[in-house]
Structure 1
Amino acid sequence: MDNSKIDVTSQLSADTFKDNVKSGSLQADKNEDQSSIDRPEPLVFEPSKEIVELSRRGGLSMVLQTLIASLFTALVLIMPFLIVYTFVKVSWMRLPLAAYVAFCYLDPAVDNGIGRRVEWVRELGIWKYVNAYFPVRIVLEEQLDPSLSYIFGVSPHGILCFSGQVVMGSKKSGFDEALSGLTVHPAALHHALTLPLFGAFLLSIGAISSSRKSIRQCLARGKGHSVGIVIGGAKESLHTNRGSRKLILKNRKGFVREAIMAGAPLVPSYVFGENDIFFQVEHPILRRLQRWLQSKMMFALPVFYGRFGLIPRRTQITAVFGSPIFVQKNSSPTYEEINSVHAKYILQLHRLYSRFKPVYDPEGDDLVIA
């Protein structure tokens, strides 16, 4: 998607979607589940009027959006650097910084299944500029029951996983309104949540650890407490590039096991636009080094660039959430049960992508699941 061609005002109305369905342009592949043809029209939540108007402005407003989006992108790089730099250069800050780093490492909120969600952080004015730069559209195949707890399988990971930060973390994205009554906690690596400053930021937007313990505690709370898991994880980030639609999912079954153990419905989700924000440098020698680092540190280090360096490409983000896959609760699921639900999940994700790709990603590659 070219930056110059983004038009937030060109939005999909229910009538347009209905016409597309009638013309057959949104039919899934014949070898896949054809049930989408008989499904009701989706619920489409477009960006708010305030976000649309801000996104259309030029001049200083556009400069401000670009600057804030770029700083937002660099958070994971800047925050740890500031800690190290201050520790080295400001001697009187060393003791309090050491105490703070120790607190981050031992922070009970990291693994308590609810995090440390801070609503005023999610409501900060800075988010409107981030959302104007990445206008978010939420699409639901059906309204979800707020009395249930769900596991949202989110794909793709992208470079910096904007689906977890911009979509789920911000109150300006429309996510809370679309999934009214649900409290969705993005799951992040345990180590990411213990990073000074950056970990505090993730916790404040509702993130929890992706550990089994944390996920189980979250789902056990009930009352709509749900988990958003980016299934492909760090490994999938190495497959991120403009037009690429490759997901690491074939052997990722832990989220299915947790769903069955909790009796939590699985919601297949796909975020169109996530993979088009950055370009990734690809080279055989670099890739071998990245895979080695990933095996040792449990996270990937993609080498990427946007516009003029780290400035992200201005891309519309459309988060599509499919119909829930209900499971029979079983505290000790068998391999056969897990494999059966996992196969159904992949089938429904394919169907979801096939249904909405012609509308939201006509130039993207076909979905590949590895």
Structure 2
Amino acid sequence: MISFAPLSLPLERRLQTLATVQWVFSFLVLGLACTVTYIGLFFTRFWFISILYSAWWYLDRDTPRKGGRQIKCMQNWRLWKYLADYFPVSLIKTVDLDPTQNYIAGFHPHGVLAAGAFTNFCTGATNFSSLFPGIRSHLMMLTLWFRLPFFRDYLLTGGLVTSEKECVSYLLSKKEGGNLLVIIVGGAQEALDARPGSYTLLLRNRKGFIKLALLHGASLLPVFSFGENELFDQIDNPQGSWLRWIQEKLQKVMGISLPLFHGRGIFQYNFGMLPYRRQINTVVGKPIKVEQNTHPSQEEVDHLHQRYMTELCNLFEAHKTKYNVPPEQHLEFR
């Protein structure tokens, strides 16, 4: 039986839903829509718009790997506050961060659409700037998305940057500090395990961000987002199944994963592409101080990686009961 949303819902909740529709549309469709518009304009009397944009695109081509182009007024849109209140999303600080230092934050888990990562680190909806004064956050995203016309400019306004090493070096080499580079360590592949009750992280062999921290002397910051995997249901795709095999092959070819997920709809609660209204609590742990080493050995990388996993587990164990995770539940790494 379909459960419809009541007509008497207050305007505030309707605006929250509208903001979430916009966000899901942006994540799933806007890039394609922008590309089609860019190409289509060449065949209309407005062809000059695409010509002018092409010139701008060429001149601005290095911006995604040179720290992006944050626009504070857009990050502080009221729209993002409605999005955060839809779930709601909360950002929890455990310690202060030194604004003279640079940081690499490992964000876990990816979830289906990385709602917590975007809301906390690309918008002002959860008061990041007030919690961590003097710190500028930059969320890394697949370079593929910055190759889409118009859409790339939309991403840049929120502080999103490419996942290229050149971008990491540019941000973490700034001596004045104050840069927080957020990496969703499990990446698109981890999204295939995103379902309610899952605490499996793709981390055991993900050591690239550890080496980057050593190369630049950036402190490591474990971040765990409780509730991230609760937002959608996903069709069963266990390891070894034909569906998982197809998804992993597509992920290797395209660079993005295609989880078959569903949530609720706009006017009913049973099915659709909107996330469920389930709370997200993103906890930022204490930094792990890293001494710069421009030629780290594999043993040094492995040692720091093990320490990072231990600190992430400690963060999870210290907070899990506050956010309705069963006491017997522990993180699993693969």
State TM-score, norm by structure 2.
0.87
1:264 aligned to 2:218?
yes
Counterpart in the other structure of 1:368? 332
Alignment match of 1:341 (pick from 297, 304, 307): 304
Counterpart in the other structure of 2:244? 287
From the superposition, tell whether residues 331 and 61 of structure 1 become closer, same or farther in structure 2 (CA, over 3 Å): same
Counterpart in the other structure of 1:69? 20
Alpha-carbon distance between aligned partners in 1 of 2:284 and 2:197, rounded to the nearest angstrom: 21
Aligned residues of 1:79 and 1:197 also touching (Cα < 8 A): no
1:210 aligned to 2:142?
no
Q: What is the 5 A alignment of 1:98-117?
A: 100=53, 104=57, 107-112=61-66, 114-117=67-70
- Summarize deviations over 1:266-288 as a string: whole Å, max 9, x none: 01110111111111223433322
Pairwise CA distance, 1:141? 2.4
Alpha-carbon distance between aligned partners in 2 of 1:276 and 1:95, rounded to the nearest angstrom: 46
Aligned residues of 2:35 and 2:149 also touching (Cα < 8 A): no
From the superposition, tell whether residues 85 and 185 of structure 1 become closer, same or farther in structure 2 (CA, over 3 Å): closer
What is the SS of the residue equivalent to 1:72? helix
Alpha-carbon distance between aligned partners in 2 of 1:94 and 1:155, rounded to the nearest angstrom: 44
1:196 aligned to 2:159?
no
Alpha-carbon distance between aligned partners in 2 of 1:92 and 1:273, rounded to the nearest angstrom: 49
User: What is the one-letter code of the residue matched to 1:172?
Assistant: A
Alignment match of 1:150 (pick from 91, 96, 103): 103
The runs of at least 4 aligned residues of structure 1 exceeding 6 Å deviation read none
1:275 aligned to 2:213?
no
- Summarize deviations over 1:215-244 as a string: whole Å, max 9, x none: 111011142112011111111111101111
Q: How many residues align?
A: 313
From the superposition, tell whether residues 220 and 85 of structure 1 become closer, same or farther in structure 2 (CA, over 3 Å): closer
- Summarize deviations over 1:174-227 as a string: whole Å, max 9, x none: 222111111111111111222233322221111111111101110111421120
Counterpart in the other structure of 1:230? 184
Pairwise CA distance, 1:324? 1.0
Pairwise CA distance, 1:98? 6.3
Aligned residues of 2:31 and 2:145 also touching (Cα < 8 A): no
Alpha-carbon distance between aligned partners in 2 of 1:271 and 1:110, rounded to the nearest angstrom: 26
Counterpart in the other structure of 1:22? none
Aligned residues of 1:240 and 1:280 also touching (Cα < 8 A): yes
From the superposition, tell whether residues 101 and 244 of structure 1 become closer, same or farther in structure 2 (CA, over 3 Å): farther
State TM-score, norm by structure 1.
0.79
Alpha-carbon distance between aligned partners in 1 of 2:233 and 2:149, rounded to the nearest angstrom: 28
Alignment match of 2:315 (pick from 337, 352, 360): 352
Alpha-carbon distance between aligned partners in 1 of 2:57 and 2:193, rounded to the nearest angstrom: 31
Range 334-343 or range 270-279, more displaced: 270-279
Task: Please list every run of 5 or more consecutive structure 2 residues that lacks an aligned counterpart in the other structure.
Answer: 1-7, 266-271
Task: Please list every run of 5 or more consecutive structure 1 residues that lacks an aligned counterpart in the other structure.
Answer: 1-56
From the superposition, tell whether residues 81 and 208 of structure 1 become closer, same or farther in structure 2 (CA, over 3 Å): closer
Counterpart in the other structure of 1:166? 119
What is the SS of the residue equivalent to 2:45? helix
Alpha-carbon distance between aligned partners in 1 of 2:21 and 2:54, rounded to the nearest angstrom: 26
Q: Percent of aligned pairs with the same residue?
A: 32
1:326 aligned to 2:289?
yes
What is the SS of the residue equivalent to 1:238? helix
Alpha-carbon distance between aligned partners in 2 of 1:346 and 1:337, rounded to the nearest angstrom: 14
From the superposition, tell whether residues 104 and 297 of structure 1 become closer, same or farther in structure 2 (CA, over 3 Å): farther
Give the CA RMSD over aligned residues: 2.1
